[in-house]
Chains A and B, each alone.
Chain A
């Protein structure tokens, strides 16, 4: 009798956690000041739209990037629509010249979603011809340090953002 109750309680806890996470992710998608400031900072500096619609990019940008990198690497196809360099050229913050950092375009969402990315251990987070050398803090930290920092940062609510 007691064993079954424990199993039931455990299952309910897991289900609750899963639903909460799903809800939080949904909230992140449409995060704004109404949610009390929880969510990534998304600042767009250039252009009026991305190469694909925003909803499509939110879900699928990884697929586009992965497919395109194989094409560029192995076949030498250098179209710019899905090129990572093109993303960086457009999305880099003009003040920091980077897509990383506290409010960087890539870092902000990825830190909030706790999905560590590997791209910038090799790729430059600065646009071409930016002229400004990378600051040391901008380089991608080691994967383990990244994990430890992410869990610490996600515990804090963020302030208001535009």
Chain B
């Protein structure tokens, strides 16, 4: 049984510090944007009383969903016992932690009263799924930290399976809770559906794996370590399966809504005449985020690493587009306050499709959160042994032909 070696990231210094520098600059800009929004009030953003959750929330929810999915790789190893994924587990746990940290940072900094974070952590209304999510998110940090400890300390390795199972169940609950933030809302036609929870779970698998794959490729390449086709191929197929599953859930969601006459309004808005939202949906979420990656991953094109990396980037962009359509598009469409009537005049934009343009502070905050997640991951990779020494075919799969050759040569 081959013993897996892990080592800190030891790639060339200048390149690594350049990356950290860029990420650091993005983080500082994000923090400045948050201060600007808090000091002046939210009127300086594109958010309003009609679009109450904007670009920061698109990024925050995306990061939180991806964080849960990033832990998938570790779960496959610990919970489902696939030895091939074992060397990948540590980075998986690390990314889960840092992506969640980035997402929560954006969420907290966008609050109307971010100075009341301690209030949010001490006053709880347990009927609110949001309150449960606060527990689930903070608990996730603890659970994954313990999970990483079990994986990284040799004496505790025997416990990584039960703790891994606990972490797996915890993150399924967490993502269900995140999807239910929208699924539980009766007020708006775009929400109010039970399919939000499983859809978010599948999306977490897809987005988390896409980010994981890109970070793994960059880290292995940056430190000159071998990344064999066996492991790479598995991850490529897995990503393709998850992208297909996300498309399936999107189909079920929209098909069901099309059968409900009450929901024809919102469906027509998203699918046909929603302007920026229709473009985001078809071009962003479906084509670039779904169909094109599928074509790349499951065809001969997928043999090229660069093309697979492109597919992963497209999945991420498609994920952000999907969040934009769900969160902002769902709010832009007016609520059906008076069925059977048209609202001719209202000082509160009743009956009107709300306009929204992402403002610079919002974008800066959202991107800053992404940068924070990546910067924390990069820093951790440098100081602790998260990265496997080698993911070559011989090391990954003992039955692989190159491993047999290696053994014959050694004999």
Contact = CB atoms under 8 A, between A and B. Distances in A.
Nearest to B40: A142
Nearest to B35: A144
Contacts of A118: 115
Nearest to A121: B113
A144 B31 CA distance: 13
A142 B114 CA distance: 12
A118 B115 CA distance: 10
Interface in A110-162: 118, 142-145
Contacts of B39: 142, 144-145
Nearest to A118: B115
A107 B302 CA distance: 67
Interface residues of A, number: 5
Contacts of A144: 35, 39
Interface residues on B, range: under 10
A22 B35 CA distance: 33
B38 interface: yes
Interface in B26-52: 35, 38-39
Contacts of A143: 115
B51 to A, nearest CB: 24
A144 B115 CA distance: 10
B5 to A, nearest CB: 37
A145 B35 CA distance: 11
Nearest to B116: A118
A35 to B, nearest CB: 33
Nearest to A141: B39
Contacts of B38: 142
Contacts of A145: 39
B311 to A, nearest CB: 43
A145 B38 CA distance: 11
Nearest to B39: A142
Contacts of B35: 144
A142 B39 CA distance: 6
A141 to B, nearest CB: 9
Contacts of B115: 118, 143
Interface string B99-134: 000000000000000010000000000000000000
A118 B35 CA distance: 18
Interface string A39-66: 0000000000000000000000000000
A146 to B, nearest CB: 11
B258 to A, nearest CB: 45
B4 to A, nearest CB: 40
Interface in A75-107: none
A153 to B, nearest CB: 20
A145 B39 CA distance: 9
A40 B42 CA distance: 35
A145 B40 CA distance: 12
Nearest to B114: A143
A69 B166 CA distance: 42
A144 B32 CA distance: 13
A114 B35 CA distance: 22
Contacts of A142: 38-39
B163 to A, nearest CB: 38
B176 to A, nearest CB: 32
Interface string B174-187: 00000000000000
A162 B38 CA distance: 39
Interface string B214-245: 00000000000000000000000000000000
Interface in B3-61: 35, 38-39
A162 to B, nearest CB: 35
7 contacts: A118-B115, A142-B38, A142-B39, A143-B115, A144-B35, A144-B39, A145-B39
Interface of A: 118, 142-145
The 4 closest A-B pairs by CB, nearest first: A142-B39, A143-B115, A144-B35, A142-B38
